[in-house]
Structure 1
Amino acid sequence: MNLTVGVVVTLVGGWAPGEDGEKIVDLSYGNTCLDLVGTGTTEGCELWTSGINDDLSFFFWRNVDLSIGAVELFADGNFTGRLRWKSLGDRQTVTLYDAEDGNGAAYNNVKGWGDIKEVPVVPKKEIIAPFNLMASSADNTSGLTSVSEGVNNSTEVQPIAVSLNNSNSQTITVETSDQYFAVKYPYTRTDTSSRSQTKTVDLNITQTVNAPPKTRYKATLLVTIGQLPATEYVTTAQRWYEQPVANSQIDYANNSWYKRTEEVRLTLTGSLACRIFVDMQTTPL
């Protein structure tokens, strides 16, 4: 097909005349409808993909106002629940009803697109459920040490504290396809968003060992830092939206926002402390 911009041809399958036999463009008497939208260039369309190839009954065409936009409904399973209205403004809403009189099941998760890109529905608040990092499975390890030496001249056992502080050995990078995920476990977010973020975690470890009486001692604290392989983690997020979205419930305790539980997938890489070892050596005085 090669249709002028603004011209739309609608193909209708399985059409049968209505009660008066004259409603030629009444879509309620048809099955599958396929819109061919004019772009000013040659376009192709495979009728068999929509099942209308052996069911086509009639067609009609009209000029449309492109500034109004269009609503797209996707029947394919990969796009379940997805609708688009390219000119839908930020303050406009669309609701589809199961019954023609506006009763029955309703669907109102129709997102607006701007002229260039999608206008996302941004949550007002979210809480990410915590999850565990398995640092013990790390490989390519390195070590940090701290040494405490001294003399115990008393006749009693003396506790000795060995501490290690490091501000740059533990680094975690989070990558996620979720647009509204930030680094912190667990956490509540109200205004930040990130797709990739690196966080440095301060390392502060103190271990206590006993120095025997009348001895010279040397206590060594060893902390093993493991490189975490890139691993995908799955958790959930509770999100609150100002306007209703699919599968949400109104939460009167949170500004009457609409709450929905969603899945979050993320990939973590970096380095974490995975093992701690203390060695105590003593020499009698």
Structure 2
Amino acid sequence: MRRTFTVLGAQEGAASRRLVLVFHGSKQSAAAHRRFTGDALAPLAQRGEAVVAYLDGYRGNWNDARSESSFPARRRGVDDVGFARAVVDRLRATCGLEGRSAVMVGFSNGGQMVLRLLHEAPDLVAAAVVVAATMPAPENLLDGVADLPAAPVPVAFVHGTRDPIAPFAGGGMRRWAQVVFRVGGRTLSAPETAAYFAARNGIRAEPVIEVVPPRAGSASGTRVVRTAYRQEGAPPVVLHEVRGGGHTIPGPRPAPRVLGRTATDVTLLELVEEALAQPRSTGAGIERA
């Protein structure tokens, strides 16, 4: 199968540059997702800090780990885990990158794809940023996914409390959304998802909860509450709860009104920059260049 992706960043550059893979939402493409975010991650490539690859799903979807779905990528059995691995290998070779893994960024169905990668290919994931997606409930997981050994990886989550498509409280999506996006089954809540990954990372300490200070001039009608799971020797897991937020990506570019309000007190670029600052750890341990 012929697959496509768009790369930001010069082929020539420092070998120490990091790699960022971006997975769009349902019914989007790489190009549409870049427009949707206002090309939020372009500065990483412009500054020479990272090579950013926007991947195209099969007919607008990713074959994520939810078992009760019937979108085209699932019906055809598309190997999107293999696609992610092939992109990492290709860009390591063509851009001369030292690292063996990438920061994985996903929105909605793309976030679900990143959750699958965290389970099935943790060696590929240096860190993850997941927006508007929560962990499938145990009965809604593909066979074998829940049985895979845990691999500690830093993860940041962002989720709006008034998300009209992927409920913050978990459970099933609304009927119209199930029909439109051809998905089904139950998911965990956003807090349960963060706690699940904190436990996978071996964090036993209680989380620290704080309100993110509002930016000057912020008028989006949202507030961000950060729940951070941290413990010495374990990769952190952080949930950014966007109170009043919708099915949106945080940053200065508001989403269409039908999707709800967009947080401005944190941005996607900042979250990815924080992920890039994490030690180069993978599911196999600390990555050595």
When the two structures are superposed, what TM-score results if normalisation uses the length of structure 1? 0.22
Q: As a proportion of its length, which structure holds more helix? A: 2
When the two structures are superposed, what TM-score results if normalisation uses the length of structure 2? 0.22
Q: As a proportion of its length, which structure holds more strand? A: 1
Larger Rg: 1
